[in-house]
C-alpha cells in the first residue's frame, strides 16, 4: 500500500485524537516499519489493518466508520494532488463509472506497485449506477466515503446502498442513485 | 511537560527523522534510476539516429544509381534530379534546378499533366501515371512514362512531388514497327489470296483454248483432213507464248517487294533512253521524251519496269495511222509527278475501276497479258506514290503517277 495512505491516515488521527493516540496505536501494532512512513514509500497493507484495529479499540468506533471518515479526508488529498485527472469529469456518475478504465489505469502508470480494487459497471443510466467492488483488502467503506465525496465535489447528492456479496466484504455491490433537488 | 509526553514527542520526532532519511534514500534511488534511464534513452536515441542516417544513405544510393530518372519538384519547380534523369535529357543537375517542368515538356502534353498535378495537389488523387514527351537539351523529343506521387508531411501538406521517368521512345518505335509489320503482312496475305485465285482462274483460259485446239487437231488427224493444220499449230504456239509471258509476268509481279530494297541514284534520262531502246517502237509511232529528267533515288530495275509497262501499254493502245506517245514530268515540293500519254483508243468508263487489277487486259490482244498495270500499281505503292489516269475513248489516255522525293 502506498505510503501516502499511511501518512495521511496518521495525520488525520493526530488531528482528531492527538499525538498520544498516534503513538499508542503505533506502539501496540508492533509494525515491521515501526510506524515510520514516507508518502513516497510502499508498505504492507497488514500494517494499515493493525493500525485500524487498535484505533478502533481505542476509540470504540467501528473500522467501517473509521475508513469512511478517512476516505472523506483522502478525497481532499486526491483533489489537491490529482485535480488535473478529476477536472476531466463533469458528472459524478460518469466519473465513478470510469475508475476502472481510466482513473486507476492512470494511477497504475504513476505507481506500478499500487494495490487497486476492481470496479465493474453492472448497470448505468444518467442517474443510476450499479458498481461491483472487488478487493482482498475489503475497503468498501473507504470506497463509499470517496463516492459520497465525489457527488459533493460536483454539488450533487446521491443515495448509495451497499450490498455485501461476500460476507468478508471482498466483493460488494454499490447501488448509486442520484437525488434530484 | 510530563515524562510520558516527552517520550511521545521524542518518538514522534525520531519517526519523522528516520522517515525523512527514508524518503531521501527513496528519492536518491529514484534519481539514480532516472539518470540511468536517461543514459539508456540517449543510447537508444543514438542508435535510432544511426539507423536513420543508414536509411538515408540507402535511399541516397537508390536515388543516385536508379536506372529510372527521378525528379523531385515543388509546384512545378525542379528541386532535385538524379543522374539517370540528367543523362536522359542531356542537362546538368545545375541547369535543371534553374528550370521548371513546363520548360522540359512539350506544350501539347503539358495541360494534361498539369490537370493531373492539380488533382494531386488538392488531394483528389494520390499518384498518377502519364506517357508524355520531354524536350532534351539538343531540342530532340523523347517519350517517357512518368509516374508522379505526392510526398506529404504529417499534416497532409505537400512537401514535394516525386516523378519516376522511364524512357519509352524505343518501345514506342518498336510498337510502331510491329504495327507496320503486321499491316504489311495482312496486305501481303490478302494479295497472296487474290493472286492465287486470279492466277488459277486466268491461267485456265489459255489452257482451255489449247485443249480445244488439240482436240480439233486430234479429230482432223484421225479423219486425215490436214488443211488448216499450220494455222492451228500457229495458234497453239501463240497460246503457249501467251502462257509463258503470263507466268513471267506473275513472277515479276510477285518479286516486286520480295527482293531486298535497293536505294540508288537513278538517272531517269538515261533510264528512259534505255527503256525506249528495249521496246520495239513501230515506225508510225512518235516517242516524245522531256529533255531534262531528274535524278531520283530508287531501284533502277523497278523504275524501269514501271516506265516500260506504261510505255508498252501506250504503244499497244494506238489504233491510228499516226501514233504519239509522250513522257513528261513535273517537280512538286515533296514529289515528282510523271505522265505517260498516248493518242490511242482510250479506256472505256466501265474499266475505270478494274484497270489496275491483275489480268484485266482491255482486249484479247495476243501480246497483252493484263499483268502490266498491276505491276505499275504495285511498284508505285511500294514507293508510297499515287497513280491515276485520264482518258477519252477514241482520243487517248494519260497515266499520271507520283514518286516521293
Ligand atoms: C483522481 C482520482 C483517484 C486517484 C488518483 C486514486 C488513487 C488511488 C490510490 C493511489 C490508491 C492506493 C493504492 C495503493 O495503496 O496501492 C487508491 C486506492 C483505492 N481507490 Fe482510488 N483513486 C481515485 C479515485 C477513486 C474513486 C473515485 C474511488 C471510488 C470508489 C476510488 C476507490 C479506491 C479504493 C476503494 C481504494 C482502496 C484499495 C482497495 O480497495 O483495494 N478511487 N486509489
Partner residue opposite B27 with nearest CB, options A20, A35, A40: A40
B371 CA → ligand 1 middle, Å: 112
Please indicate, yes or no, whether residues B268 and B402 belong to a single structural domain of this protein: yes
Q: Would you call B23 and A38 a contact, using CB atoms and an 8 Å cutoff?
A: yes
Inform me whether the C-beta atom of residue A38 falls under 8 Å from chain B C-beta atoms: yes
pLDDT-derived band at B197 (thresholds 50, 70, 90) equals low
- Note whether residue B405 is domain-resident: yes
Please indicate, yes or no, whether residues B18 and B131 belong to a single structural domain of this protein: no
* pLDDT tens, position by position, A157-169: 999 999 999 999 9
Please indicate, yes or no, whether residues B270 and B294 belong to a single structural domain of this protein: yes
* Greater pLDDT, B352 or B29: B29
For residue B280, is pLDDT > 80? no
What whole-number distance in Å separates Cα of residue B75 and Cα of residue B311? 68
Q: Would you call A19 and B9 a contact, using CB atoms and an 8 Å cutoff?
A: yes
User: In this predicted structure, what is the pLDDT of residue B360?
Assistant: 54
Decide whether any atom of ligand 1 lies within 6 Å of the A139 Cβ.
Answer: yes
- Note whether residue B238 is domain-resident: no
Averaged pLDDT, B240-249: 75
Q: What is the pTM of this model?
A: 0.51
How big is the CA angle at B60 (ends B57 and B64), to the nearest 5 degrees? 140
Enter the C-alpha cell of residue A12: 488525520
User: In this predicted structure, what is the pLDDT of residue B183?
Assistant: 86
* pLDDT tens, position by position, A40-70: 899 999 999 999 999 999 999 999 999 999 9
* pLDDT tens, position by position, A28-40: 999 999 999 999 8
- In this structure, the number of other CB atoms found within 10 A of the CB of residue B37 comes to 10
User: In this predicted structure, what is the pLDDT of residue B202?
Assistant: 61
User: In this predicted structure, what is the pLDDT of residue B367?
Assistant: 47
Beta bridge partners of B69: B165
Q: Does CATH number 3.40.50.1820 belong to domain A91-179?
A: no
- Note whether residue B100 is domain-resident: yes
User: In this predicted structure, what is the pLDDT of residue B354?
Assistant: 73
Please indicate, yes or no, whether residues B146 and B267 belong to a single structural domain of this protein: no
User: In this predicted structure, what is the pLDDT of residue A135?
Assistant: 97
Considering A155-169, B29-43, B284-298, B372-386, the range whose residues carry the highest mean pLDDT is A155-169
Q: B344, B329, B347, B311: which is closest to B385 by C-alpha?
A: B329
Please indicate, yes or no, whether residues B393 and B310 belong to a single structural domain of this protein: yes
- Note whether residue B112 is domain-resident: yes
User: In this predicted structure, what is the pLDDT of residue B366?
Assistant: 42
- E strand or H helix at B323: strand B323-331
A133 CA → ligand 1 middle, Å: 12
For residue B363, is pLDDT > 70? no
* pLDDT tens, position by position, A106-159: 999 888 889 999 999 999 999 999 999 999 999 999 999 999 999 999 999 999
What whole-number distance in Å separates Cα of residue B149 and Cα of residue B67? 18
- Note whether residue B138 is domain-resident: yes
Q: Would you call B8 and A37 a contact, using CB atoms and an 8 Å cutoff?
A: no
The secondary structure of A5-16 as a DSSP string is HHHHHHHHHHHH
3-class secondary structure, B360: coil
Please indicate, yes or no, whether residues B293 and B396 belong to a single structural domain of this protein: yes
Q: Which residues on chain B place their C-beta less than 8 Å from a C-beta of chain A?
A: 5, 8-9, 11-12, 15, 18-20, 22-23, 26-27, 30
Averaged pLDDT, B356-365: 54
Please indicate, yes or no, whether residues B72 and B116 belong to a single structural domain of this protein: yes
- Note whether residue B294 is domain-resident: yes
Averaged pLDDT, B97-121: 86
User: In this predicted structure, what is the pLDDT of residue A100?
Assistant: 95
In this prediction, what percent of chain B has a pLDDT beyond 90?
A: 34
The dihedral of CA B300, B302, B307, B309: what is its sign?
Answer: positive
Q: By mean pLDDT, which of B137-141, B349-353, B401-405 is the weakest?
A: B349-353
- Note whether residue B347 is domain-resident: yes
Please indicate, yes or no, whether residues B402 and B348 belong to a single structural domain of this protein: yes
Q: How many folded domains does chain B comprise? A: 3
Last residue of a domain, one of B30, B64, B98: B64
For residue A87, is pLDDT > 80? yes
Averaged pLDDT, B203-226: 80
Inform me whether the C-beta atom of residue A35 falls under 8 Å from chain B C-beta atoms: yes
* Minimal-distance CA residue of chain B relative to A10: B12
Please indicate, yes or no, whether residues B2 and B126 belong to a single structural domain of this protein: no
> What is the extent of the structural domain holding B92?
66-167
pLDDT-derived band at A21 (thresholds 50, 70, 90) equals very high
What whole-number distance in Å separates Cα of residue A108 and Cα of residue A94? 20
Could you state, in order of their start, the residue ranges of all structural domains in chain A? 3-61, 91-179
User: In this predicted structure, what is the pLDDT of residue B402?
Assistant: 94
State the smallest CA–CA distance between residue A103 and chain B in angstroms. Answer: 24
**What CATH number has the domain bearing residue B132?**
3.30.450.20
Decide whether any atom of ligand 1 lies within 6 Å of the A48 Cβ.
Answer: no
Q: Would you call A38 and B11 a contact, using CB atoms and an 8 Å cutoff?
A: no
- Ligand 1 atom closest to Cα of residue A115: 16
For residue B195, is pLDDT > 70? no
Please indicate, yes or no, whether residues B72 and B130 belong to a single structural domain of this protein: yes
Maximum separation of any 2 CA atoms in chain B, in Å:
182
Please indicate, yes or no, whether residues B373 and B278 belong to a single structural domain of this protein: yes
B165 CA → ligand 1 middle, Å: 64
* Greater pLDDT, B274 or A77: A77
User: In this predicted structure, what is the pLDDT of residue B365?
Assistant: 47
Last residue of a domain, one of B143, B167, B191: B167
User: In this predicted structure, what is the pLDDT of residue B257?
Assistant: 63
* pLDDT tens, position by position, B72-88: 998 889 999 999 999 99
* pLDDT tens, position by position, B299-338: 887 788 889 889 988 988 899 999 999 999 999 999 999 9
In this prediction, what percent of chain B has a pLDDT beyond 70?
A: 89
Measuring from atom 11 of ligand 1, which residue has the nearest CA? A116
Beta bridge partners of A164: A172
Amino acid at each position: 500500500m502506498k505510503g501516502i495512505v499511511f501518512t495521511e491516515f496518521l495525520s488525520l488521527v493526530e488531528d482528531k485524537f492527538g499525538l498520544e493516540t498516534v503513538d499508542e496505536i503505533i506502539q501496540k501494532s508492533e509494525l515491521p516499519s515501526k510506524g515510520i512512513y514516507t508518502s513516497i514509500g510502499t508498505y504492507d497493507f497488514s500494517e494499515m489493518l493493525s493500525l485500524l484495529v487498535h484505533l478502533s479499540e481505542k476509540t470504540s468506533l467501528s473500522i467501517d466508520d473509521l475508513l469512511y471518515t478517512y476516505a472523506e479526508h483522502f478525497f481532499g488529498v486526491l483533489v489537491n494532488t490529482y485535480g488535473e485527472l478529476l477536472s476531466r469529469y463533469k458528472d459524478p456518475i460518469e466519473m465513478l463509472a470510469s475508475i476502472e478504465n481510466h482513473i486507476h489505469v492512470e494511477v497504475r502508470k504513476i505507481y506500478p506497485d499500487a494495490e487497486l480494487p476492481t470496479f465493474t459497471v453492472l448497470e448505468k443510466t444518467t442517474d443510476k449506477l450499479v458498481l461491483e467492488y472487488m478487493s482482498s483488502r475489503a475497503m468498501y467503506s473507504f470506497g463509499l466515503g470517496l463516492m459520497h465525496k465525489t457527488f459533493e465535489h460536483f454539488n450533487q447528492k446521491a443515495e448509495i446502498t451497499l450490498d455485501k456479496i461476500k460476507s468478508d466484504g471482498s466483493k460488494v455491490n454499490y447501488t448509486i442513485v442520484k437525488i434530484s433537488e | 511537560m510530563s515524562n510520558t509526553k516527552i517520550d511521545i514527542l521524542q518518538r514522534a520526532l525520531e519517526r519523522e527523522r528516520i522517515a525523512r532519511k527514508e524518503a531521501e534514500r527513496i528519492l536518491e534511488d529514484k534519481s539514480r534510476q532516472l539518470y540511468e534511464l536517461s543514459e539508456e534513452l540517449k543510447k537508444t536515441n543514438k542508435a535510432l539516429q544511426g539507423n536513420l542516417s543508414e536509411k538515408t544513405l540507402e535511399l541516397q544510393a537508390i536515388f543516385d544509381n536508379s536506372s529510372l530518372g527521378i525528379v523531385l519538384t515543388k509546384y512545378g519547380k525542379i528541386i532535385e534530379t538524379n543522374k539517370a534523369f540528367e543523362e536522359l535529357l542531356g542537362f546538368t543537375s545545375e541547369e535543371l534546378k534553374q528550370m521548371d517542368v513546363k520548360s522540359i515538356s512539350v506544350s501539347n502534353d503539358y495541360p494534361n499533366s498539369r490537370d493531373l498535378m492539380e488533382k494531386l495537389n488538392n488531394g483528389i488523387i494520390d499518384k498518377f501515371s502519364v506517357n508524355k514527351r520531354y524536350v532534351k537539351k539538343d531540342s530532340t523529343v523523347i517519350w517517357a512514362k512518368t509516374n508522379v506521387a505526392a510526398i506529404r508531411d504529417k499534416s497532409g501538406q505537400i512537401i514535394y512531388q516525386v516523378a519516376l521517368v522511364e524512357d519509352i521512345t524505343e518501345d514506342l518505335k518498336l510498337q510502331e514497327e510491329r504495327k507496320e509489320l503486321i499491316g504489311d503482312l495482312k496486305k501481303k496475305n490478302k494479295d497472296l489470296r487474290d493472286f492465287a485465285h486470279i492466277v488459277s482462274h486466268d491461267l485456265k483460259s489459255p489452257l482451255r483454248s489449247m485443249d480445244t485446239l488439240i482436240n480439233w487437231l486430234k479429230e482432223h488427224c484421225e479423219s486425215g483432213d490436214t488443211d488448216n493444220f499450220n494455222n492451228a499449230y500457229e495458234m497453239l504456239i501463240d497460246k503457249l507464248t501467251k502462257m509463258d509471258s503470263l507466268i513471267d509476268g506473275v513472277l515479276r509481279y510477285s518479286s516486286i517487294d520480295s527482293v531486298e530494297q535497293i536505294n540508288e541514284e537513278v538517272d531517269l534520262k538515261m533510264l528512259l533512253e534505255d527503256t525506249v531502246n528495249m521496246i520495239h517502237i513501230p515506225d508510225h509511232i512518235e516517242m516524245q521524251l522531256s529533255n531534262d529528267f531528274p535524278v531520283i533515288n530508287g531501284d533502277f530495275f523497278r523504275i524501269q519496269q514501271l516506265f516500260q509497262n506504261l510505255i508498252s501499254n501506250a504503244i499497244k493502245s494506238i489504233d491510228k495511222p499516226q501514233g504519239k506517245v509522250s513522257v513528261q514530268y513535273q517537280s512538286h515540293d515533296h514529289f515528282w509527278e510523271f505522265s505517260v500519254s498516248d493518242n490511242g483508243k482510250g479506256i472505256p468508263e466501265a474499266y475505270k475501276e478494274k484497270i489496275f487489277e491483275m489480268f484485266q487486259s482491255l482486249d484479247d490482244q495476243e501480246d497483252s497479258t493484263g499483268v502490266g498495270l498491276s505491276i505499275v500499281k504495285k511498284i508505285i505503292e511500294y514507293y508510297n506514290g499515287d497513280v491515276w489516269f485520264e482518258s477519252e475513248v477514241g482520243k487517248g489516255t494519260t497515266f499520271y503517277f507520283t514518286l516521293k522525293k
